[in-house]
Structure 1
Amino acid sequence: MTTSSKFLFRASLVAASVAAASSAYSAGFALNDHSATASGKALAGVAASNEDISASFWNPALFVNAQDTTVFVSGAYVMPSMDVTNISANNATAAGGSSITGSSTNSDSVNNTLVPSFYLAKPLSDKTVAGISLNVPFGLSGDYGQDWAGRFHATETAVQDIALSFSLAHRMNDWVSVGASVQVHKAEIVLESGVGSTVALAGGEGVGRIEADDTGYGYSLGVALEPKKGTRIGLGYRSEVDFDFKGDVKYTGVSTGLSTAKGLVDANVSDSVTLPSVLTLGLEQDLTPKLTLGLTAIKTGWGSLDGLNINFDSNQDNSVLTFGFEDQWMYSAGLTYAYSNELTLRTGVAMDNSPVTDEYRSARTPDGDRKWISVGGTYDFNDMTSATFAFTHVMIDDVSVNRTNLTEDASRGKLKADYESSANVISVAMNMAF
């Protein structure tokens, strides 16, 4: 194994260990902090950016920003907050069922998390650049614990998708660049919940835990244009990624009577899931020699992710959770200001619309629309090395889960709860050319 291969292997292990980020940061469970540079301006103009190679996540053509062999390493420390109040749960989907005991508030279900990104660019000629990148496009982490009243809907949820990309970018002429990548995705899912309370027999309750993983493949395409000096336009597309998850379910605390009645035995599980495509359109306009305006629109094809339909190789019925996601857009605007030869400042705002519909909002996807406010900056130590910092405050609309009349909740019971969430994100990066 070459030195660079060993580095990428180790980097992927690090990413795998820290990648499951809270859904409090990005709509659905997309993660958008793949670049401290882009985060400082709320992703404004990112698909058209000429600042560095980290914008290649959204548009692979932007690897042409590398004039020399370049490494960009970025990390986002996500500090979410989520308060769940007015929790009430009932052990029957029809009227008249008894209440489920447990805590009626929960404020410890999300944890601080680090989300890493890595980029390496190697010019092959004065027009062509090869690139490698490691990112975490999707992540979700929540742990309510096993004592809250909604435990039969969810106790723990974790999703992480790690993507290793291999890219080529080519500058066709002075104003057109194109790029493409192929990606290998490694995804893991953890789903845990209480089982047993809604069964009409003296079986008590226990806990079921599903762990599954799979490898999928995707691609991205991009074009970057500068039709006149100071006006840059970029379009990037990341494809859907199909996974055929396989794993197992293990039960703890399940009585013999409950196991016999519902087939709750340790078993293998499987499900097919498609993670969504991402289309990014960016515009940058130099307003003055020092000030640049950026605009971005990002469409995420959440409609491809219809839900979960987990199959057990035992007598247990499939576990179904409908997401009801809808394709959604994120919009952002920002400014970049070259304060001096060494210091560049950024700021931006964004509206990130949630794909979750009121009907199917669940304890696993308690999602709401988000607004971002971001500031950041880059300090150039010399022509070869720079450091970047960004801070983002994410305001999330208050939402409610109201699972009271869905057939798929027959074994989970009813659940009502109110959610109040927000997040702060600190991003740092180093850019080094050789």
Structure 2
Amino acid sequence: MTTSSKFLFRASLVAASVAAASSAYSAGFALNDHSATASGKALGGVAASNADISASFWNPALFVNAKETTVFVSGAYVMPSMDVTNISANNATAAGGTAIAGSTTNSDSVDNTFVPSFYFAKPLSDKTVAGISLNVPFGLSGDYGDDWAGRFHATETSLQDIALSFSLAHRMNDWVSVGASVQVHKAEVVLGSAVGISGVEGDGRIEADDTGYGYSFGIAMEPRKGTRLGLGYRSEVDFDFKGDVKYKNVATLNASALTTGYDLIDTTVSDSITLPSVLTLSMEQDLTQKLIFGLSAIRTGWGSMDGLNIDFDSAQPNSVLTFGFEDQWMYSAGLTYVYSDQLTLRTGVAMDNSPVTDKYRSARTPDGDRKWISVGATYDFNDMTSATFAFTHVMIDDVSVSRDGTGEDRARGKLSADYSSSANVVSVAMNMAF
């Protein structure tokens, strides 16, 4: 193994250990902080940006921003808050729909999380650049604990997707550049919940993983000086998850015949999930020599994720959870102001629409529409090194979960709860040329 491949392997392990970011940041469970530069302007104009190589996540053609061998390392510290109130749950399968004992409020189900990104660019000629990047495109993490009343719907939920990309970008002429990448994705899913009915219950926990493959392509244009346009596309990624389910404290439950003819036993599980495609359209316009205005529209193809349909390698019937996700757009606008030769300032706003509908919202997907307000800055120490900072406040619409305990929820029971969420995100980055 070469020195560079060893480094990338270690970087992948580091990313995997911290990748499960809270769903409080981005709609659905897409993660959008892959660049402190882009975050400072709320992604406004990101797929058309000529600032640095970190915009290549949205448009691989932008690796041509590297004129020398360049490393860009970025990290986002996500500080979410989610309060769950008015929790009410019932055993729909019990006589009379008996109420489930447990806490009726929950304010400790999401934790602060660090999300890393890494980019490396090497010019092969005056027109062609090779790039490598490591990102966390999707992440979700929540743990309600074992004592809340909705524990039969969810106790723990985690999904993390690590992507290692290999890219080529080429400047066709003075105003058109193109780029493409191939990606290796490593994803893991963890699902936990109580099983049985209140008073005669145990715990189940599923862990499964798989490796998938994707690609991206993009084009960046500057049809006239000061006007930049960009389009980038990241493909869907298919996963055939395989793993294990392990149960605790189910001996009494199995003996009570409440499982209607089957025992809950440790076994293997499988499920197929397709993570969505992402299409980014951007425009940047130099308003003056110092002021740049940017717009972006980002479409995430959430409709590819129909839900969970977990197949147990035993007599236990499949566990089904319909997501009912809808394709959605995020819209953003940003301003960049070159204050001096050393200091660049940024700000931006965004509207990030949730793919979750009221009909299918669940304790695993308690998602609402988001609004961003961002500020940021870059300080150039010299021609070779710069540092970037960004702060984003995310406001999330209040939502409610209402599950009637029928159909796929028959074994989970009824659940109603109100969710109030927000998040603050601090991003920092270093850009180094050699």
TM-score of the alignment, normalized to the shorter chain, above 0.5: yes
CA distance in 2: counterparts of 1:380 and 1:152, whole angstroms: 53
Cα offset for 1:219?
A: 0.1
The Cα offsets for residues 386-416 of structure 1, whole Å up to 9 and x where unpaired, read as: 0000000000000000001541000000000
Q: Contact 1:93–1:414 (CA<8 Å) still a contact in 2?
A: no
AA in 2 matched with 1:45:
G
Q: 1:206 is matched with which residue?
A: 202
Change over 3 Å in CA distance of 1:348–1:257 after alignment to 2: closer
1:14-33 aligned at under 5 Å gives the runs: 14-33=14-33
Q: 1:63 is matched with which residue?
A: 63
TM-score, normalised with respect to structure 2: 0.98
Q: Contact 2:78–2:114 (CA<8 Å) still a contact in 1?
A: yes
Q: 1:85 is matched with which residue?
A: 85
Q: Contact 1:205–1:255 (CA<8 Å) still a contact in 2?
A: no
Q: 1:99 is matched with which residue?
A: 99
TM-score, normalised with respect to structure 1: 0.98
User: Number of aligned pairs?
Assistant: 430
Cα offset for 1:96?
A: 2.9
1:390-429 aligned at under 5 Å gives the runs: 390-404=390-404, 406-429=406-429
CA distance in 2: counterparts of 1:280 and 1:225, whole angstroms: 14
* Structure 1 residue 250 corresponds to structure 2 residue 246: yes
Q: Contact 2:45–2:296 (CA<8 Å) still a contact in 1?
A: yes
CA distance in 2: counterparts of 1:8 and 1:79, whole angstroms: 27
AA in 2 matched with 1:431:
N
CA distance in 2: counterparts of 1:405 and 1:112, whole angstroms: 32
1:163-312 aligned at under 5 Å gives the runs: 163-197=163-197, 204-258=200-254, 261=259, 262-312=262-312
The Cα offsets for residues 189-235 of structure 1, whole Å up to 9 and x where unpaired, read as: 0000000117xxxx810000000000000000100000000000000
AA in 2 matched with 1:352:
D
Q: 2:375 is matched with which residue?
A: 375
* Structure 1 residue 116 corresponds to structure 2 residue 112: no
- After TM superposition, the structure 1 stretch with the greater mean CA deviation from structure 2, 55-64 or 261-270, is 261-270
CA distance in 2: counterparts of 1:3 and 1:315, whole angstroms: 49
Q: Describe the SS at the equivalent of 2:200.
A: coil
CA distance in 1: counterparts of 2:146 and 2:312, whole angstroms: 23
AA in 1 matched with 2:249:
G
CA distance in 2: counterparts of 1:213 and 1:301, whole angstroms: 22
- After TM superposition, the structure 1 stretch with the greater mean CA deviation from structure 2, 251-260 or 292-301, is 251-260
Change over 3 Å in CA distance of 1:284–1:95 after alignment to 2: farther
AA in 1 matched with 2:310:
I
CA distance in 1: counterparts of 2:75 and 2:425, whole angstroms: 10
Q: Describe the SS at the equivalent of 1:205.
A: strand
Cα offset for 1:5?
A: 1.0
Cα offset for 1:95?
A: 8.9
- After TM superposition, the structure 1 stretch with the greater mean CA deviation from structure 2, 38-47 or 253-262, is 253-262
Change over 3 Å in CA distance of 1:125–1:384 after alignment to 2: same
Q: 1:343 is matched with which residue?
A: 343
AA in 1 matched with 2:27:
A
Change over 3 Å in CA distance of 1:67–1:196 after alignment to 2: same
Q: Describe the SS at the equivalent of 2:245.
A: strand
Q: 1:155 is matched with which residue?
A: 155
AA in 1 matched with 2:205:
R
CA distance in 1: counterparts of 2:76 and 2:52, whole angstroms: 17
Q: 1:388 is matched with which residue?
A: 388
Q: CA RMSD in A?
A: 1.1
AA in 1 matched with 2:247:
Y
The Cα offsets for residues 156-212 of structure 1, whole Å up to 9 and x where unpaired, read as: 0000000000000000000000000000000000000000117xxxx8100000000
- After TM superposition, the structure 1 stretch with the greater mean CA deviation from structure 2, 253-262 or 277-286, is 253-262
Cα offset for 1:3?
A: 1.5
Q: Describe the SS at the equivalent of 1:16.
A: helix
Cα offset for 1:7?
A: 1.1
Q: Describe the SS at the equivalent of 2:415.
A: strand
CA distance in 1: counterparts of 2:93 and 2:283, whole angstroms: 50
Cα offset for 1:258?
A: 2.2
CA distance in 2: counterparts of 1:95 and 1:315, whole angstroms: 25
AA in 2 matched with 1:91:
N
AA in 2 matched with 1:130:
A
Cα offset for 1:154?
A: 0.1
Q: Describe the SS at the equivalent of 1:196.
A: strand
AA in 1 matched with 2:190:
V
Q: Can you give the 5+ residue segments of structure 2 that lack an aligned partner in the other structure?
A: none
Q: Contact 1:92–1:413 (CA<8 Å) still a contact in 2?
A: yes
The Cα offsets for residues 46-81 of structure 1, whole Å up to 9 and x where unpaired, read as: 000000000000000000000000000000000000
CA distance in 2: counterparts of 1:371 and 1:408, whole angstroms: 32
Cα offset for 1:4?
A: 1.2
AA in 1 matched with 2:361:
R
Cα offset for 1:94?
A: 9.0
AA in 2 matched with 1:337:
Y
CA distance in 1: counterparts of 2:349 and 2:94, whole angstroms: 45
The Cα offsets for residues 66-107 of structure 1, whole Å up to 9 and x where unpaired, read as: 000000000000000000000000000699311000000000
CA distance in 2: counterparts of 1:107 and 1:256, whole angstroms: 31
CA distance in 2: counterparts of 1:360 and 1:150, whole angstroms: 16
CA distance in 2: counterparts of 1:6 and 1:228, whole angstroms: 43
Q: Contact 1:131–1:168 (CA<8 Å) still a contact in 2?
A: yes
Q: Describe the SS at the equivalent of 2:133.
A: strand
Q: 1:133 is matched with which residue?
A: 133
